[in-house]
Amino acid sequence: MVGSVEIIPLRGIPKIDLGDNIPKCILDALDSTNISLVDGDIIVIAHTIVSKAEGRVIESSQINVTPRAQDIANRSDFDAVQVEIALGEGRAVIRDERALIIELPNGHICNFGGVDHSNAPPSSYLLLPRDPDRSAKLLRTEIEEQSRKKIAVIISDTEGRPWRKGAINIAIGCAGINAFKHNQGKQDLYGRILQRSMICQVDQIASAAELVMGQADEGIPVVIIRGYDYERGNEKVSDIHRTGEENLFR
């Protein structure tokens, strides 16, 4: 039977800088707000604080804009510095007209390769973690060791979709939870056996967290999802990415 699910904003996370211990910040915030972790909790963490702690911040003054980046920026009225950083992050450019779609080394495809001004220090840009699945695993391990609770961690980012307007929160890294919920072999309402139903549960959870996380000045980069009966396992967000042969939009 499906039960209720709680979406709990964790307040009190300080501004994060290079080298800050995010698990400690989370545990301190839990203590100060009288929230106790329970087994099965899912901690959704905005990539912005993970990126800052990992030093994935770059100042515009460090960037020399190449003619290629300037040409792309001129054609679509983009920020040339942002274009240059995005080109340096990617392993392939999927599109450079009206949008700059970049494929990252881990297979993730997104606008500007995830390079963004939002919630970055002045005159700086935030980059995605180099290996978000690894980052999630490290965060989970330390939080579990300190809290003595079995939890899962999802690192999230807000991105647009090629076939629908508006951005949503998605998972870019996870640990302690399978990327998918597999319904194959279960029955539908009429007793038919499902043959290949597969739900991307980490994206659904990340989107649920966005309801209280926000994108502006809410200051809530960590959300706890409680009560969701998820599949545990070793699947990662990197398992979600379609290969070139499977991707209909390339």
Q: What is the CATH number of the domain that holds 209?
A: 3.30.1330.100
- Same domain (yes/no): 191, 222: yes
Q: What is the mean pLDDT of residues 78-83?
A: 96
- Among 124, 142, 167, give the residue marking a domain's end: 124
- Same domain (yes/no): 86, 49: no
- Among 98, 124, 150, give the residue marking a domain's end: 124
- Same domain (yes/no): 152, 230: yes
In a domain, 246, yes or no: no
- Same domain (yes/no): 19, 85: no
CATH of the domain at 103: 3.90.1660.10
Domain range enclosing 62:
58-124
- Same domain (yes/no): 114, 165: no
- Same domain (yes/no): 48, 100: no
Confidence of residue 1 (pLDDT cuts 50, 70, 90): very low
In a domain, 244, yes or no: no
Q: What is the pLDDT of residues 30-57, one digit of tens each?
A: 999 999 999 999 999 999 999 999 999 9
d(CA 172, CA 49): 14
- Among 79, 102, 124, give the residue marking a domain's end: 124
Q: What share of the chain is helix, strand, coil (3-state, %, to 5)?
A: 30, 25, 45
Q: What is the mean pLDDT of residues 116-130?
A: 91
DSSP strand pairing (101-103 vs 109-111): antiparallel
- Same domain (yes/no): 181, 89: no
d(CA 207, CA 15): 23
| Angle at which helices 80-89 and 67-76 cross, to 10° | 120
pTM of the model: 0.91
- Same domain (yes/no): 142, 222: yes
CA angle at 123 for the pair 121 and 127, rounded to the nearest 5°:
65
- Same domain (yes/no): 22, 64: no
Q: What is the pLDDT of residue 172?
A: 97
Query: What contacts 121, CB < 8 A, 6 or more positions away?
Result: 57
- Same domain (yes/no): 186, 233: yes
- Same domain (yes/no): 117, 142: no
Max Cα–Cα distance, the chain, nearest Å: 62
Q: What is the mean pLDDT of residues 151-174?
A: 92
DSSP H or E stretch at residue 204: helix 201-213
Residue 224, strand partner residues: 8, 43
Number of domains composing the chain:
2
Confidence of residue 176 (pLDDT cuts 50, 70, 90): very high
